[in-house]
Amino acid sequence: MSLGFHNGEFIALDQKIIPIDERGHQFGDGVYELIKVYKGAPFMMREHLVRLEKSAKAIRLQLNYSIDQLEAIIADGLHRAGLAGQDAEVYIQSTRGIATRLHTFPNVEASTTMTFRPARVIPAELRERGVAITLAVDERWANCYIKSLNLLPNILAKQAAVDNGYYEAVFFRDGYITEGSSTNVYAVKDGTLYTPPATKRILHGITRHAVLRLARELNIPVVEEEFTPDFLSSGDEIFISSTTIEVLPVTTIEGQPVGNGQPGPITRRLYDAVIADATR
């Protein structure tokens, strides 16, 4: 129930196909997306693919497939992998192609690969008790809104967090919270939902978009503005979101409890709303 795709051909995941002179392999010169599939239906697929195009445009990469073509490949791949009607994850990666290693752009076609796999399952106990986070200085580049392959600072921060018993590292820059190493971040205070604004400093998360839309539908006030680590720590509730974890409560920051130390009611409502939206 897993399958790969490489520039027009469906392949086994263990088939060796990436040439040494692949720009993504050598430079991280590319962009990517991860789409969650619920019971065979990709959630917000068009939004993910539009963001893929925007990321590609931002790095001056001409994709070798249109959005409509990518949607057709995804549907075909899920069927071929035996994942039709199942919960799955589709990973898409597009790079500047295959050419002799030079820093300047080569005159070659872009390269696109995909993987189709069963969805990862978040342990139920994490949703029941919440997760622990730590804070980390944001040492990434200035254009985090681009979903690029250059994730080394994110990986190092995430691993340092896990090594010290935390689920996630939440970044701050110039005194303000930006986002997690692989998540968007939210605080709830006095019934209002706060999250950093969608600037170049954060990824404009697709699940983030769903959370804010659903919060407004549920008449939960939403404020998109910068806030400090102290503001985050003093929240009644904190949660993080991403494609794979959906909405996940945070109940401690560096050993200190958030609110009453339990997942909060707004976090639970928004998680339920996201799942209902994805599976309707």
| Residue positions annotated with a catalytic role | 147
Q: Are 179 and 196 in contact (CB under 8 A)?
A: yes
State the pairing for strand pair 9-11/192-195. Answer: unpaired
* Cα 102 from Cα 158, distance rounded (Å): 31
State the pairing for strand pair 237-242/184-189. Answer: antiparallel
Helix 67-80 to helix 45-58 angle, to the nearest 10 degrees?
Answer: 130
| Ramachandran class of 226: left when φ > 0, alpha when ψ lies in -120 to 50, beta otherwise | beta
**Dihedral sign, Cα of residue 45, residue 38, residue 76, residue 32:** positive
Q: Are 246 and 218 in contact (CB under 8 A)?
A: no
The C-alpha angle with vertex 274 and arms to 257 and 94, in degrees rounded to 5, equals: 100
